[in-house]
Amino acid sequence: MMKNPTKNYKSVTSIPITLLFCLSFFSTFSHASLPDFTELVEDTSPSVVNIATIKHGNKYSNALDGIAEQYNLPKEMPEIFRHFFGPQGPLGGIPRDGRGPMPGQSAEKSSLGSGFIISSDGYILTNNHVIKGADEIVVRLSDRRELDAQLIGADERADLALLKVNATGLPEVDLGNSDKLKVGEWVLAIGSPFGFDYSVTAGIVSAKGRSLPNESYVPFIQTDVAINPGNSGGPLFNLEGEVVGINSQIYTRSGGFMGVSFAIPINVAIDVVEQLKDKGRVSRGWLGVVIQEVNKDLAESFGLKQAKGALIAQLVPGSPAEAGGLLSGDIITAFNGQEINLSTDLPHRVGRVRPGEKAKLNIVRNGKTKVIFLEIGALPEGDSPQIGQSNNQQNFQKNRLGITVGELTGQQRSYGEGVLVQDVTSGGAGALSGIVRGDVIAQIYGEPIRSVADFNRVVESLPKGRSVPMRIVRRGAVMFIPLRLIE
């Protein structure tokens, strides 16, 4: 019997029609889910600038000094070497706009980074490290004009600098709200990586509130946007065309992009700009505490159900924290209604409070919650005192922890009280808890340790089978460690 060709045709052709429909659907869906940056770039690029600096040197330029060192020649080089390598030679200064270095000087002009115009009357924002140490700052606009810029003010802690050029009617950026950024959100950067002006790169927000070494007061935005040398100081845009960050740093092992880039939140930058315009410097809030992370063992030793908060290891004498009633061993869990999950969250919050304002702190003290109100102070300059080690071997005794301790010298007592760890027995409770020779033990289980007698009395009364907090000073750094007896 002959099969129905029409039926067969329908059944055969129905498959590719379905496939075509599905492919068309997913193609449309995929295309719709990817942003189109073309209009955003066209609208915002004119507000981005390239920044170069000029540094004046003496008559023996850096290049000349390098030649002298390489060939073991004296820096006071004969005239013939100055002719080739000095200010007028091929390695010397380059005149700009008919101007050159003063007699006996050299000038080096280099393209260092990017910036963006924040007001039509010529205010420009960039990174401090882009212009640091410059004798002259030159801003190149999108229309290729080059303008001399004046440094209004800089904030090294936030790595921000505010510049001013003598011009009006400049295209300015729209400033967004970095607090509203979400992880996974699309962002775009415009800058001059390796001198390639107006390069555009895009990616997503990888994380928020990142703390970097020596950058305690900036909650960085982490992105996977391709950022390289020359992008520094350039804007980070959201899809609305608003600046939400200033590209500042990269994590790299090669010197180039590795998918981990950091931007300063624009909300932090706006506060800095306002203060720089007003008084030429930046004031930050300050508590006057040394803090550390609360890990699982420390949380157990302090009776917490969850490892979170900022543990106060030490208070600065005369600080707002001391005046406000905070104690060493307190754990700050919230600041002005905002949770403190990591200890690095606290400096971000405190730094943005103006000195003299009141703040509300939620703390845990001796296992109980407590609310403290105190006045925030101004962040001072200066280093923390260091506690040295002593060779004093007298007045030491052994104890349940398997360590030997001795009294502090008079000089060491000027930094605080405690006992000095002279020796640590391998395999003992002290060694297993992380105590090392040279540590200064200042507090155990909430009890201050002022002498060897205090130390022995407290140690003998410690409970077994659970962790208790011990506050120590190690090479000048104050910290808590969880101590557990193994008897």
**What is the structure's pLDDT at 96?**
42
**What is the structure's pLDDT at 399?**
66
Which residues have CB under 8 Å from 147's CB, separation 6+? Answer: 138, 139, 140, 141, 165, 166, 167
Q: Which helix (H) or strand (E) holds 397?
A: strand 397-398
Catalytic residue among 106, 192, 199, 232: 232
Catalytic residue among 47, 61, 129, 261: 129
**What is the structure's pLDDT at 106?**
53
Read off the pLDDT of residues 432-443 as tens digits, 9 standing for 90 and up. Answer: 888 888 888 888
Which residues have CB under 8 Å from 174's CB, separation 6+? Answer: 240, 241, 242, 243
Cα–Cα distance for residue pair 170/120, rounded to 1 Å? 4
Q: Which CATH superfamily is domain 285-378 in?
A: PDZ domain (2.30.42.10)
CATH 2.40.10.10 residue ranges in the chain?
A: 36-48+119-128+152-282
DSSP label at residue 99: B
Which residues have CB under 8 Å from 224's CB, separation 6+? Answer: 203, 204, 206, 259, 260, 261
Within the chain, which residues score under 70 in pLDDT?
1-32, 57-111, 214-215, 255-256, 381-399, 409-416, 486-487
Query: Can 129 be counted among the known catalytic residues?
Result: yes
Task: Assign domain 397-484 to its CATH architecture.
Answer: Roll (2.30)
Query: Can 83 be counted among the known catalytic residues?
Result: no
Query: What does the angle CA 242 – CA 220 – CA 327 come to, to the nearest 5 degrees?
Result: 130
**What is the structure's pLDDT at 391?**
34
Query: The tokens 């006071």 sit on which residue?
Result: 76
**What is the structure's pLDDT at 477?**
80
Catalytic residue among 47, 106, 159, 345: 159
Question: Class for domain 36-48+119-128+152-282, per CATH?
Answer: mainly beta
CATH 2.30.42.10 residue ranges in the chain?
A: 285-378, 397-484
Cα–Cα distance for residue pair 205/219, rounded to 1 Å? 13
**What is the structure's pLDDT at 374?**
94
